[in-house]
């Protein structure tokens, strides 16, 4: 009935509220009278042309809203669990990640769930999900926000790569410090220094369990805030690029690019995992859960 009260207040008349709720005006009036008799106070102030809630009526709405919303969520959850995934999903993802890894995985999902529709916005802007009406965001990060519902889809790593042609001309770096003498293609973030950091993949000698860490200032002819653009520059032989694995994997497998410095792990430039993030809610729609599980299965099978 709380939803009915809010509709009544917003509509301003019994006739308009009854039409919105799909009930008769007489039936709605009768329920209001029954509530007023039960509470012993007037809940609605009526005039010949309109109505409004009394102070007592507004307090009743305010005090019961949360309980009725929870009941509504529980009913929706029960109905959702018994039905096939359906409805519109609005999804946002970074441009390169979305083009390379998310879009190719959507046709199979949509064929499996024909009652689901997807609107995908590719943008490197970190949009506020609730404010802009997104059901899901795919993020490349090391830590998902604790203010949202988040699922780890798969782990991710960064690779240092170049073409064989570039390495023949300029030589192959053997340690991070060697990169200072190379043309380096780096991910552009305004206000950040052009520095790459690395950790030794094996513990430091004499200090078990502690990895050596080093950083090197780099420079080169090209920088971009898109890993696809950096990959294409590396494939053109412009220099050494630091790429996320989802951008570099296919090119390394086809031997178009060579992975460098295998004893060193790049850190700090890209996130350590791909996450699916949903605005916080105690109830997650079945279509959202189905898409998350589909992406997780597919991504964990490999890029």
Model-level pTM greater than 0.85? no
pLDDT given at position 48: 65
Residue 32 contacts by C-beta under 8 Å, 6 or more apart in sequence? 8, 14, 43, 44
pLDDT given at position 296: 97
> What does the pLDDT look like over 33-75, one tens digit per residue?
888 888 888 888 877 666 778 888 788 878 877 776 666 566 6
* Homologous superfamily of domain range 158-267: Periplasmic binding protein-like II (3.40.190.10)
Residues of the chain with CATH 3.40.190.10: 87-156+272-300, 158-267
CATH placement of domain 87-156+272-300: 3.40.190.10
Within a 10 A sphere around the Cβ of 33, how many other Cβ atoms? 12
pLDDT given at position 2: 45
pLDDT given at position 1: 43
On the CB side of 98, how many CA atoms lie within 13 Å of its CA? 17
Taking the CA atoms of 30, 35, 37 and 41 in sequence, report the sign of the dihedral they define: negative
Residue 169, CA distances (Å) to 136, 216, 233, 240 in order: 45, 22, 16, 12
For the record, the structure tokens of 190 come out as 């305004």
pLDDT given at position 49: 67
For the record, the structure tokens of 238 come out as 């412009």
Q: Which CATH class is domain 2-82?
A: mainly alpha
Return the H-helix or E-strand segment holding 51.
Answer: strand 51-53
Helix (H, G, I), strand (E, B) or coil at 146: coil
Question: Using CA atoms, how far apart are residues 303 and 100, in angstroms rounded to an integer?
Answer: 9
Taking the CA atoms of 281, 99, 104 and 155 in sequence, report the sign of the dihedral they define: negative
Decide if 180 contacts 217 (C-beta within 8 A). yes
pLDDT given at position 99: 96
Decide if 33 contacts 100 (C-beta within 8 A). no
The low-confidence residues of the chain, meaning pLDDT below 70, are 1-12, 16, 18-22, 48-50, 68-82, 203-211
């Amino acid at each position: 009935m709380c939803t009915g009260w809010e509709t009544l207040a917003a509509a301003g008349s019994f006739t308009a509220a009854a039409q919105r709720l799909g009930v008769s005006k007489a039936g709605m009036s009768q329920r209001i009278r029954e509530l007023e008799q039960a509470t012993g106070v007037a809940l609605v102030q009526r005039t010949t042309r309109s109505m409004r809630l009394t102070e007592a009526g507004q307090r009743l709405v305010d005090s019961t809203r949360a309980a009725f919303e929870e009941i509504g969520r529980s009913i929706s959850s029960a109905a959702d669990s018994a039905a096939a995934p359906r409805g519109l999903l609005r999804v946002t993802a970074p441009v390169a990640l979305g083009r390379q890894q998310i879009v190719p995985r959507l046709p199979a999902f949509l064929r499996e769930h024909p009652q689901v529709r997807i609107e995908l916005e590719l943008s490197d802007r970190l949009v506020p999900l609730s404010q802009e009406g997104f059901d899901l965001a795919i993020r490349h990060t090391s830590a998902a926000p604790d203010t949202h519902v988040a699922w780890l889809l798969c782990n991710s790593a960064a690779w240092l790569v170049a073409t064989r042609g570039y390495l023949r001309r300029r030589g192959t770096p053997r340690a991070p410090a060697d990169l200072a003498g190379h043309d380096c293609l780096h991910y552009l973030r305004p206000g950040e220094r052009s520095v790459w950091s690395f950790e030794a993949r094996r513990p430091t000698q004499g200090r078990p369990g502690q990895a050596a860490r080093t950083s090197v200032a780099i420079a080169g002819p090209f920088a971009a805030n898109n890993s696809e653009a950096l990959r294409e520059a590396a494939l053109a032989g412009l220099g050494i690029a630091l790429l996320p694995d989802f951008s570099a994997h296919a090119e390394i497998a086809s031997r178009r690019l060579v992975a460098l410095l295998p004893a060193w792990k790049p850190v700090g430039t890209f996130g350590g995992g791909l996450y699916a993030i949903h605005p916080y809610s105690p109830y997650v729609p079945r279509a959202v859960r189905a898409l998350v599980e589909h992406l997780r299965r597919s991504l964990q099978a490999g890029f």
